[in-house]
């Protein structure tokens, strides 16, 4: 984006601010912990993070950023992160594993509707888990190209109903 190779990006806005780039937040994406409805932890309405370590975790393969965010939650509670029991490349495999056993996983809240249809629920944990701002970023310019303006408008309309 800074080099001009891209005109606009739709992404997580967790990169350093730069006066050459305009960032526009559309929404906040929360990550939550999923478990099956009958998981033993579902009855606990304010789980202490240490209890989460008693169960196997499924993570996305090669998602070091996602794992580090989960690890940060545990570190903030003076705990080691959960070991990775299984890695997968798809949300479908992840939710199938969770639905079939006592596995836990962290995934975007956007997956909640899909996961609910498969018998999963958000696990209510004590303390804040993590979230990230999503939006667009584009180069600051006196004349934003019409195609970029159109794309930004279309994204706004789809994401926030502008």
Task: Report, as an integer, the average pLDDT of 36-65.
Answer: 91
Strand partners, 120: 36
Which pLDDT tens digit goes with each residue over 60-108?
A: 999 888 899 899 999 999 999 999 999 999 988 988 999 999 999 998 8
Between 155 and 59, the more confident residue is 59
User: Residue 118 in 3-state DSSP?
Assistant: coil
Answer yes or no: is pLDDT of 21 > 90. yes
If one compares 161 and 158, the residue with the highest pLDDT of the two is: 158
Q: What is the pTM of this model?
A: 0.73
- Kindly indicate the confidence band of residue 162, based on its pLDDT and cuts at 50, 70 and 90: low
3-state DSSP percent of the chain in helix, strand and coil, to 5 = 35, 30, 35
* pLDDT band at residue 50 using 50, 70 and 90 as cut-offs: very high
Residue 134, classed as helix, strand or coil, is: strand
């Amino acid at each position: 984006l800074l080099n001009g190779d891209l005109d606009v990006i739709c992404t997580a806005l967790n990169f350093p601010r730069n006066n050459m780039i305009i960032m526009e937040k559309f929404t906040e994406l929360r990550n939550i912990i999923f478990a099956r409805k009958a998981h033993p932890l579902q009855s606990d309405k304010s789980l202490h993070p240490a209890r989460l370590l008693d169960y196997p975790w499924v993570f996305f393969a090669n998602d070091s950023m996602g794992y580090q965010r989960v690890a940060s939650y545990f570190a903030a509670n003076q705990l080691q992160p959960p070991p990775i029991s299984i890695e997968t490349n798809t949300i479908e495999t992840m939710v199938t594993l969770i639905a079939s056993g006592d596995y836990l996983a962290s995934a975007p809240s956007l997956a909640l509707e899909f996961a609910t249809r498969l018998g999963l629920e958000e696990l209510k944990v004590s303390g804040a888990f993590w979230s990230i701002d999503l939006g667009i970023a584009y180069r600051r310019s006196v004349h934003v190209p019409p195609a970029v303006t159109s794309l930004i408008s279309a994204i706004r309309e789809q994401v926030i109903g502008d």
